[in-house]
A and B are shown apart, each in its own frame.
Chain A
């Protein structure tokens, strides 16, 4: 089970404009099921670009991306969107929430676009709301906040709601793009611990991306973008 490959990249090349420089050139990169990976690199080095490729929102010019055995690069755009909805949860840096939805509805947003995650969330919690509430409680968000609008939450609380949304319905892959950079140092560690713990509980593979190497505590693997994409951005200079 643990040796199963979840993310597999081969000979990938991506550039933002035809004729421009390649932003990413990854000969090979693999992540196994259940792994927790810390990927770091200076800002502007192409970390978010890589995550866009893994999410199926961007397509490489060359090479293959295989997620959970499906070749993402061969799928039609709508099938890639569907794949992302079913199998990948995202947490971003900031402003992760839809301002006009309540806390619970923000969490359930993932289930609105994926029947698979809806079914898995229901199986886990009995009902969608119960599962959302359970996850939120695990992430230290008390019951009273669940029905609230999200705009009154602190940044730290908002990030935990975003984590719950990424985790609900137990997607195989959770991708976090600098989710802690808007938090102060103490909260960064606490958030990381919570996220990692929930990923373990859900059996999800975690790909955590940051420019700040100090955060790399408690991960299975820690690697720099430059090491997997030697030709890339700042990595090339180093």
Chain B
């Protein structure tokens, strides 16, 4: 058996240029397939990790998926806010154990700014119900204090004591800035692998204060309230964006949800994060499956190319097959020889594809994190990915049986003297 495989390897090496091209095609298609699977997996993972222990997410009436996107994942913008009174009513509801108000809309170098209360540091949970921890400093206390997520601090090189200026609105370029009211970094959170890492946290009062002399998207002309005077104003917010709610008893969740959805003073939407996430997966699932199917198709194209190349080479190898027969090779060994050649390229392509993916995640992972908040870490191959690789090799084996079988038929028909 092993001299046969050695022969297959030598023969493949002899035709390394053509087989090399198909090897590249197979490897790239495998990289695509594994890449789609990895992004899919990591996206689900990081989304699922983003919120834990929260029973309800409440915002202005919109779609549950939309609400989750901005309230939990801090992606996109809320079209409507909820009134402060509505928030107070939720907070004072006897069934509610704790509530975290969230006010969104500003940013700092593209990172979202979250106006919230100290309840955030106390009650927010992520992953397996882990609490937030500080890697440096402490929660905000003074009005212009800010607490940074781990990634914000790491990427912008901030430490407690640094002064930062927030921008009005979301986005990267040419925003109006709140230059007159700079913030002081007082705390930096430990990494969580969730959108918290990408957030700048300030108090709701500060959020109100920086917008005192603003209307709509711009500063009011002729009006400027210096930072030291803001305390003279009532800094109670008029509106916030969303609320994360923890209940005293989980059993009450559907009742509270129903009450919020139907009996509030303004149209509100309360969703169970798990249910909303499922809806999100249903939306995303179609795209995921389509992508996966397309990349599987690309792998099929790569393997078809491989089979075509091996088959095309058979014609000029009839002499070679006859020689092998003359020294005693059985037709079944000819079959194995040609099948092994295709399988060989498939296995090599699968390994190369996996290696390429590792390289790409190492190189592009930080970019995906920065631009999409997707934590795609370079890590050892997962069992799902291994199963995909196994499937590729299995399909490659089945496909390679075709040239194997052709060679088998040829060697039976030709015997020792091929007639050309």
Chain A residues with a Cβ under 8 A of chain B: 48, 51-52, 55, 57-58, 77-78, 81-82, 84-86, 90, 92, 95-101, 109-110, 112-114, 165, 177
Contacts and interface: CB of A to CB of B under 8 A. Distances in A.
**Helix, strand, loop or mixed for chain B's interface?**
helix
B325 A101 contact: no
B327 A77 contact: no
B328 A114 contact: yes
A101 B331 CA distance: 21
Contacts of A101: 10
Given A51-B416, A55-B416, A92-B416, A81 B328 contact: yes
Nearest to B14: A100
A78 B416 CA distance: 15
Contacts of B324: 98, 109
B3 interface: yes
B417 A48 contact: yes
Contacts of A100: 10-11, 13-14
Across the A-B interface, the 7 shortest Cβ-Cβ residue pairs? A85-B328, A100-B14, A113-B328, A57-B415, A90-B326, A112-B3, A81-B330
B327 A110 contact: yes
B323 interface: yes
Contacts of B322: 92
A99 B324 CA distance: 12
Interface residues of B, number: 22
Interface in B311-349: 319-320, 322-332
Given A52-B416, A57-B416, A78 B330 contact: yes
A92 B320 contact: no
Contacts of A99: 14, 320
Contacts of B320: 98-99
A23 to B, nearest CB: 13
Given A112-B7, A113-B3, 15 more contacts: A48-B417, A52-B416, A81-B325, A81-B329, A86-B328, A90-B327, A92-B417, A98-B324, A100-B10, A109-B327, A110-B327, A112-B327, A114-B327, A177-B416, A177-B417
Contacts of B328: 81-82, 84-86, 110, 113-114
Interface in B398-420: 415-417
Q: Which of A100, A101, A114 has the most CB of B within 10 A?
A: A100
B278 to A, nearest CB: 57
Contacts of A110: 327-328
Contacts of B329: 81, 85, 113
A150 to B, nearest CB: 11
B86 to A, nearest CB: 79
A160 to B, nearest CB: 16
Nearest to A109: B327
Contacts of B10: 100-101
Q: Which of A82, A90, A110 has the most CB of B within 10 A?
A: A90
A113 B330 CA distance: 9
Interface in B329-375: 329-332
Interface in B141-191: none
A157 B330 CA distance: 28
Nearest to A105: B10
Contacts of A95: 319
Contacts of B326: 55, 84, 90, 92
A98 B416 contact: no
A96 B11 CA distance: 16
25 contacts: A48-B416, A48-B417, A52-B416, A81-B325, A81-B328, A81-B330, A84-B326, A85-B328, A90-B327, A92-B322, A95-B319, A96-B323, A98-B320, A99-B14, A100-B14, A101-B10, A109-B323, A110-B327, A112-B7, A112-B327, A113-B329, A114-B328, A165-B327, A177-B416, A177-B417
B323 A85 contact: no
Contact of B327 (A48, A78, A113): A113
A96 B10 CA distance: 17
Nearest to A79: B330
B314 to A, nearest CB: 14
B323 A97 contact: yes
A168 to B, nearest CB: 10
Given A57-B325, A98-B320, A52 B417 contact: yes
A58 B60 CA distance: 85
Contacts of A48: 416-417
Given A96-B323, A100-B13, A77 B330 contact: yes
A101 B328 CA distance: 17
B416 A85 contact: no
Contacts of A86: 328
Interface in B1-59: 3, 7, 10-11, 13-14
Contacts of B323: 92, 96-98, 109
Nearest to B11: A100
Nearest to A48: B417
Interface string B266-307: 000000000000000000000000000000000000000000
B256 to A, nearest CB: 75
Nearest to B417: A48
Q: Which of A85, A90, A113, A177 has the most CB of B within 10 A?
A: A113
A165 B328 CA distance: 12
A82 B325 CA distance: 10
